[in-house]
Structure formats: structure tokens, C-alpha cells
Amino acid sequence: MKKFWIQFVVLLVIILGSLYLVYHIEILSGYVPQNTSQIKYAQRNITVGATTIKVEIADSADKRRVGLSGKAEMPADQGMLFVFPEEKQYQFWMKGVLLPLDFIFIKDGRVVDLLKNIPIPNQDQKDSDLPIYEPITVVDMLLEVNSGFITQNNIKVADVVSLIE
């Protein structure tokens, strides 16, 4: 009987370990859900400094994973706001993104870092060769906007960021 329980526990550990690895391999490999057209983003207005724009809110793991992948254009007065469950120094890449972007990193309602003119990756570029972008500090949100937005709207570190109800 003791041998049965030992085998049962070992089998259970193997099954749970496999499920854990499959889940994390999907995340680390940049897994994107197949049916991305059914992902619905809430839309809000946000002010950054003196500028107001419309944003789609990416506030779940699937929404953040998909992000702007596959979009070839975005109106000048729009962007995507990534909302994170905790403050961290998150890393980002441009996998599947078809337009150059500016990144506005936000923590506690203030701009804490800016990255301008992030180019689209080459079509033949391997995932392992894609550049990784990260803020200089922990953040709780990232606003992705069209390349040139930061310069055109004079966005600066310390600018106030507010969601409009």
C-alpha cells in the first residue's frame, strides 16, 4: 500500500510540473492566443501632461500579450494603455507590431521614463534576436503611442497621467 501512495504522489508531481511548464513556456515564448479578434479592449480617454488621447486598455494577460500586434496603423490621437497587476520593471518587445512606437512608462500617475521612435522589427528577424525594451525603474502602466507622439506633444518625465471617467 505504501508503494502505491509513493507512485501516486510521484505521478501527481509530474502532472502538475508538466502543466506548470507548459503554461510558463507559452508566456516566455511570446504565445499569442489564436483567436485574437474576439479580444475586446475597454476604451477610455487619458491625459498625459496637457494632451488627451483615446486608449484601448490592456488589463489582462491575454490583452497585454496581444497588444498592438498585427496593427498596421493607429490614429494619431489613440494609443494602448497596458495596466499591470503589480509594480515591476517589465520588459517589452515588438513581436508582430507593424508600426513604429513611442513608449511612455508610468508609475503612480506620473511619467517615469520615455522611449522614442522604437522601430518595427525586420520581417525575417527571429524572436530570439528581437530587441528588449525596459524602463529605468518599476512601472504599473505603459502607454504605447505612434512614433513621434512624445516629441509632438512635449511629453516629459514627471508629467501627470490621468484616466478620464
Nearest-angstrom CA–CA distance, 159 and 26: 36
- Beta carbons of 82 and 142 less than 8 angstroms apart: yes
Q: Which residue has the higher pLDDT, 114 or 62?
A: 114
Read off the pTM: 0.77
Q: CB of 64 within 8 A of CB of 32?
A: no
What is the pLDDT, as a whole number, of residue 153? 97
**121 or 152, higher pLDDT:** 152
Q: CA–CA separation, 3 vs 5, rounded Å?
A: 6
pLDDT tens digits for range 21-62:
544 444 444 444 444 456 788 899 999 999 999 999 999 988
